[in-house]
Amino acid sequence: QMQLQESGPGLVKPSETLSLSCTVSGGSISSYYWSWIRQPAGKGLEWIGHLRATGGVTYNPSLKSRVTLSMDTSENRFSLKLTSVTAADTAIYYCTRVAYRSVYPITYNWFDPWGQGTLVTVSS
């Protein structure tokens, strides 16, 4: 069974860079798209972006100028960097796989499975 695990600092200072990794076990990241999603405490979910090993990265325009997603297939993990953080970036950050089912000619996607999430607080 595929499992995802986020890792990285839980506290980041304002104006600095938030860096998180997601290690995938029980399957190869060479297949599928992989996403990051965040959720401020008590609030809704925001899609940050997705990427795949064969190339192709898409970012949420609201974060595009500050976000970089990357992948290390040798380590079976993918990563998120968010620069110039502010208190508004304080959230639980989730990594997830983009699962899919094709019913020609349409492909349906959904997020599954998810990591347990990691809380990142931006504070001095």
Partner 1 sequence: DIQMTQSPSSLSASVGDRLTITCRASQSISSDLNWYQQKPGKAPKILISAAVTLQSGVPSRFSGSGSGTDFSLTISSLEPEDFATYFCQQNYNTPYTFGQGTKVENK
Residues that bind partner 1 (CB under 8 A): 44-47, 58, 60-62, 94, 96, 99, 101, 103, 106, 108-112, 114-117
- Are 48 and 20 spatial neighbours (Cβ–Cβ below 8 Å)? no
Q: β-strands 3-7, 106-114: how paired?
A: unpaired
Minimum distance from CB of 96 to partner 1 (Å)?
8
Q: How far is the CB of 74 from partner 1 (least distance, A)?
A: 26
104 or 108: whose CB is closer to partner 1?
Answer: 108
User: 42 by DSSP, 3-state: which?
Assistant: coil
- Shortest approach of partner 1 to residue 112 CB, angstroms? 4
d(CA 29, CA 72): 9
